[in-house]
Chain A
């Protein structure tokens, strides 16, 4: 048995204290600012309590941003999981050990890139005149212009494709590793029953991996919320407000357009409350 030691206290207390201060001070201060009417340009302020929040709900651009954020979450999370599971299963089925390692290395590269880099890489690639990704279209149509980033209907999907490029490929590696940890017996049994390969995965392996796959989805949901840099570099929320998510709108209200720091903070506080409640509930269910 281990003797009593001061180690847990000396190791934990300072770190937790610092984490608490570093996280609680800005969080509480965000709420305080949201209840005032601070602006970047003017030093004075007064308490306006909930009027910022009340204003938000009659702000059509805010409601649009909520809708864009929801669309963004759904599109990126679903597409990432589909790509990840698809490629993970394919690697598991047709690639030998050495080829698997090679693909794993390739698929990790995009996620390591700074999002700013990834955004630039694809912004060039989607350039209507000189882009490498739009080149096949120009080639086939004899020089017609395809400009996905500047059309309201396609801009969100074009930006989302970059997010999926980064995360879907990375998650494919994780799905493969998860498949590799499964015991082989149930797969063998299904094979003896003449199950087709897709049936084995749909009815045997993927259900066995349900819990880790849900955790993976959970991680992606959190990461999808931090796509500001991607959108900032690629479209700045445009064309119009087609790709303006909540954090993009908060940023432009607070800093670019009007400097309404309190208004932006009210938005951020709402986001914070929504995400903390949603993810706490989800986490408890995942753990249960």
Chain B
């Protein structure tokens, strides 16, 4: 083998190692006692303990955070599906002179700096008495999920072969049943990817949740970040365990999202 090729392979292997090793290390630390974490020489062999994990799973703040995250993200994604998918279908299949503007408008929502949205929303929610509640968080997140789902679903619907839909029209289906029975099932795989993507985005969201909640509606990322501020005696093991807990749900979508990426680029080819 040529040396250039060997170096290239080594670089790739190193990158692959760097991609996952920090995470593996965090997961290991979550299973360590504090003494085994605070060592000058990193310990690979140690007696594992479940104390950290059971500690965070037993804490009310963590459970509340988990519940808040699940409800806020779940509801926002649901709203995103209900409002975003039909709108995307209409843009993809019923072209009008506003289609380009609509797509640009939806994308431009992504440019808005989160601080710029969060500050006024905080004042508004305070004034109508919904500050620090889940509904306020859900409505705010819906802006994110609707626009992301719409943005990703437009190409997915455009990828559905027009002939199938035409055939259904000929068979006497109405416009709505074509959407329900043809377009949705045919595009389903890409749509699931788009929905998973929007879920990961809101699950990972931090700034808006930080500014719109003070005690009741805190999501898991906020709770996790607060664990780190417990004075000088940092509970490293517990922190690592909470990082693992926070990271698990998005990682569950790994397979879905990598399949989604593949399908997106396969469409471009044809």
Chain A contacts to B: CB under 8 angstroms: 2-3, 5-8, 10-12, 14-16, 18-19, 22-23, 25-27, 29-30, 32-33, 38, 87, 90-91, 93-95, 102-110, 112-117, 120-122, 124-125, 129-130, 132-133, 135, 138, 143, 165, 169, 172-174, 177-178, 180-181, 222, 225-226, 228-229, 232-233, 246-247, 250-251, 254-255, 261, 264-265, 267-269, 271-272, 275-276, 279-280, 283
Contact = CB atoms under 8 A, between A and B. Distances in A.
Interface in B162-184: 166, 169, 174-176, 179
Interface string B97-109: 0000010111111
A120 B239 contact: yes
A154 B117 CA distance: 31
A114 B203 contact: yes
B26 A121 contact: yes
Contacts, number: 267
Given A114-B203, A283-B107, 16 more contacts: A2-B169, A12-B87, A15-B87, A26-B117, A27-B120, A107-B19, A109-B19, A113-B251, A116-B206, A121-B22, A121-B25, A124-B239, A180-B265, A254-B119, A267-B115, A271-B116
A125 B25 contact: yes
14 contacts: A22-B139, A27-B112, A30-B116, A33-B120, A90-B8, A94-B5, A112-B254, A115-B204, A117-B246, A125-B25, A130-B39, A275-B113, A283-B104, A283-B107
A8 B107 CA distance: 20
Given A29-B123, A112-B253, A114-B246, A124 B139 contact: no
B261 A173 contact: yes
Nearest to B119: A265
Interface residues of B, number: 92
A168 to B, nearest CB: 9
B207 A8 contact: no
B216 interface: no
Interface stretch (B46-54, B55-63, B142-150, B185-193): B142-150
A8 B96 contact: yes
A8 B116 contact: no
Q: Interface SS of chain B: helix, strand, loop or mixed?
A: helix
A15 B106 CA distance: 11
A135 B221 contact: no
A8 B94 contact: yes
A132 B20 contact: no
B257 A108 contact: yes
Interface of B: 5, 8-9, 11-12, 15-16, 18-20, 22-23, 25-26, 29, 37-42, 83-84, 86-87, 89-91, 94, 96, 102, 104-117, 119-124, 139-140, 142-143, 146-147, 150, 166, 169, 174-176, 179, 200, 203-204, 206-207, 210-211, 221, 224-225, 228, 236, 239-240, 243, 246-247, 250-251, 253-254, 257-258, 261-262, 265, 268-269
B8 A121 contact: no
A226 B147 CA distance: 17
Contact of B262 (A177, A261, A264): A177
A268 B113 contact: yes
Contacts of A133: 22
A229 B206 contact: yes
Contact of A11 (B87, B117, B146): B87
A19 B124 contact: no
A107 B16 contact: yes
Contacts of B8: 90, 93-94
Residue of A7, A26, A117, A178 contacting most chain B CB atoms (<10 Å): A117
A134 B87 CA distance: 50
Nearest to B86: A11
Contacts of B110: 222
Contacts of B39: 130
A130 B16 CA distance: 23
B85 to A, nearest CB: 9
B232 to A, nearest CB: 14
B25 A132 contact: yes
